[in-house]
Chains A and B, each alone.
Chain A
Amino acid sequence: MQLTGAQALIKSLEQEGVDTIFGLPGGAILPVYDPILDSSIRHILVRHEQGAGHMAEGYALATGKAGVAMVTSGPGATNIVTPIGNAHMDSTPLVVITGQVATAAIGSDAFQECDITGITMGITKHNFLIQSAHEIPRVVAAAFYLATTGRPGPVLIDLPKDISQSTMEWWYPESIEELDLPGYHPEVEIDERAVARAVELISQSERPVLYVGGGTLKSRAHKELLAFAERTKMPVVTTLMARGAFPDSHDQHLGMPGMHGMYSAVTAIQKSDLLISLGARFDDRVTGQISSFAANAKVIHVDIDKAEINKVRHADVSLQTNVALALGALDGASASPQNLDVWWKEIRTWQERYPLVYDEPTDEGPLRPQHVIEAIASRAAPGTIVTAGVGQHQMWASQFWRFEEPGTWVNSGGAGTMGFGVPAAIGAKVGRPDRTVWCIDGDGCFQMTAQELVTARSEGIPIKVAILNNAYLGMVRQWQEMFYEERYSEVYLSADLPDYVKWAEAMGCVGLRAHNLKEMHEVIEKANEINDVPVVIDFRTDSSEKVFPMVASGASNDDIIVHPLLRGGAR
């Protein structure tokens, strides 16, 4: 069967089980947009290529499958660089297809030419510049294999226009050997000797903590985690990338560690004698000052990526494998710590003394952002997916929403990409249409990618967006207040400009606004009743609210700053 390169690309995507492409056409990718008309794959036409990338990420994080985005060459390709970088930081499986100028024009500064494989070399797991139509099936199959196995990540395929127009005899690789990846070996084996050493360390431990990172979700190890944690009675912390890996309602769950983590989670790590890191990478936002991080703890580091082991923190025992296999092996060896009653007693004291708190909301407003999140959560269907942008609202969403299952928290962790929330929500809703999807957003973030609500409306993707509108770039404002003597520099945005309600309406969405408690409850109820079009709510929140607890940048986790309401006791 003779196919054009363009047809072969689409057919290859079908072979990989792709059901959705997020994209935007242009000159160099134009040939590929013709066979899309004849394909079962749904194409979602975005309004900006960054939106396509974040939608594909939202799709991937909510479903566990690779997200797919397709854009044209030059500016189309550079516009999707941010999502690629974001996916790279968060190990999100992504396959991004970019059009490229014709092979003969490469290197000539042709119209809309850019060296996108060069640009993305450092922010992809791998990338390909296709050399012939014949290799399209192999490259597509390899891209999905690379993106979804081992430590997942983004893979880019650059497709020159002449190749998508040329013809090939259709074939498709039937085995991994045909992918021509002699340097890629994601298979992992359990090192029984390391398991034995881990069991030994665990057996000596009186103050262990399970430090659960995004790799736990990526390896779908939540069931193994629950079983291991319940059998061993160890306390669990879930990083920003792992929210949902362990139920927030579970009484062994201390919550999120790190810069804005729960006091008990941060302190339990600091005082631990054994940290069992499960697919976490000792990010600076978790460790604070590295020299004083869990200074008396031995470390068992489980990571599929060998390069993460000993990168930041020396591992006393390392298991280079996926989290599910590692937990299975530890369970198989009946790894058990000492009696943890004393440890738990101590942890319970911290939990009681330093719970998450915020100032009492007043009837007339402004609203407390934490209260808004709790109010939305309390009326949200179980299994609701939450996305966020980056900043204060993201931290509050992670702190105050209760995540009970994997794939319900979709956010930008390592890269901290403002504007992630709205397009990620759209992608998540496309991937999980059965779920309610709320985007908890900030006013600053919303302005960066809000145009994708046009996409959402026109494609019939009814997400709900809660803008916690404090009229500021809130997190930067918080730092300027705390660390720059309240010298506010370029952080004021205005609560009224733009008019978010009118803007939402102009994009075909329902726009709502709440200034006070009564309105807050009304608009949440109204938003929950709307299931056919996107809803945007402008919640007017208090500009002076800050995220607590907080560990100042570079400070020791021992010097965690709790909410003012909790100060006055010990620390």
Chain B
Amino acid sequence: MTPEPFLGATDHTPVRHHILSVLVENKAGVLARIAGLFARRGFNIYSLAVAPAEGNARFSRVTIVVDAESAPLEQIVGQLDKLVNVVAIKDLAPRDALERELLLATLSVDNANRGEVLDVTANTGASIVDVNATSVTVMLAGTPTACDRLERALESFADVELQRTGRVALPRLG
């Protein structure tokens, strides 16, 4: 059985997405509270990235890419804000946001396709971060669009194991 593609085969960016940069208390169950809220209110999450905020053990930053068509953004933010562990929400429209994402992919290589792998890596700005006799792992840290491009370029290879982090974002300066 082939699982449904997550977001369609080639485009990982929802039609009308927004990025919510959510500062939360670093407490047990916070992620479940956020995920549960999205599930029970029928809001769609496209990606979610969590890490301690500014090296602070007390708070974490959750970057959520939401589908602003599944529910009005105002409603998503309003409900999210009611979670007691949510400290602050920054709503970033894509044009105002500096978005980055990391992609790792491991590919089978042999003498026949080794050159092609090197070409794709070079052309997409990715780098090779691990190698053995039969495989290489490439990495790209870049814009979601760049990651999309690399992912499409890798579609022609067999046995690709690919993992993306989901995007993180900060407001653009100036």
A interface vs B, CB < 8 Å?
117-118, 121-122, 125-126, 129, 146, 181-184, 305-307, 309-311
Asked if B74 CB lies within 8 Å of chain A CBs, one says yes
With known contacts A121-B33, A307-B79, A182–B25 Cβ distance under 8 A: yes
In the assembled complex, the Cα of A553 lies from the Cα of B65 at a distance in Å of 36
Tell me the nearest residue of chain B to A306, going by C-beta. B78
Kindly specify which of B10-18, B45-53, B82-90 makes contact with the partner chain.
B82-90
Q: Are B85 and A118 in contact (CB under 8 A)?
A: no
A-B contact pairs, 24 of them (CB 8 A): A117-B29, A118-B32, A121-B29, A121-B33, A121-B36, A122-B36, A122-B37, A125-B82, A126-B84, A126-B85, A129-B28, A129-B29, A182-B25, A182-B87, A183-B24, A183-B83, A183-B86, A184-B84, A305-B82, A306-B78, A307-B75, A307-B81, A310-B72, A311-B75
Kindly state the separation between the CA atoms of A311 and B76 in the bound complex, as whole angstroms. 10
Residue on B nearest A131 in the bound complex, by CB: B28
Instruction: Decide if B25 touches A183 in the complex (CB within 8 Å).
Output: yes
A129 to B85, CA, bound (A): 14
Contact A307 B82 (CB under 8 A): yes
Interface flag for B40 (CB, 8 Å): yes
A506 vs chain B, min Cβ distance (A): 42
* B84:A310 contact, CB within 8 angstroms: no
In the bound complex, residues from chain B placing their C-beta under 8 Å from that of A184 are: 84
A182, B27: Cα distance in complex, Å: 12
Q: How far in angstroms is the closest Cβ of chain B from A471? A: 37
Contact B87 A310 (CB under 8 A): no
In the complex, what distance in Å separates the CA atom of A352 from the CA atom of B78? 43
Residue of A117, A183, A310 touching B85 (CB-CB under 8 A): A183
| Set of chain A residues within 8 Å of B74, measured between Cβ atoms | 310
Q: Considering the complex, give the chain A residue whose CB is closest to the CB of B59.
A: A182
**From B86, which residue of chain A is reached at the shortest CB distance?**
A183
Chain B residues lying within 8 Å of A117, measured Cβ to Cβ, are 29
Complex Cα distance, B85 from A126, in Å, reads 9
Chain A residues with CB under 8 A of B37: 122
Could you say which residues of chain A place their CB within 8 Å of the CB of B84? 125-126, 146, 181, 183-184
Bound-state Cα–Cα, A191 to B37, Å: 29
Q: Known contacts A184-B84, A306-B78; can you find 4 more A-B pairs with CB under 8 A? A: A121-B29, A183-B24, A307-B75, A310-B75
Bound Cα distance from A256 to B90, whole angstroms: 40
Q: How far is the CA of A129 from the CA of B82 in the complex (A)?
A: 19
**Roughly how many angstroms separate A126 CA and B29 CA in the complex, as a whole number?**
11
Which chain A residue shows the least CB distance to B40?
Answer: A122
Which partner residue on chain A sits nearest B82 by CB separation?
A307
Contacts of A122 in B (CB 8 A): 36-37, 40
Contact A183 B32 (CB under 8 A): no
Residue of A121, A125, A126 near B32 (CB, 8 A) is A121
State in angstroms the CA–CA spacing of A334 and B88 once bound together: 36
For the complex, give the distance between the alpha carbons of A182 and B30 in Å: 14
B37 to chain A, nearest CB (A): 8
Residue of A nearest to B33 (CB): A121
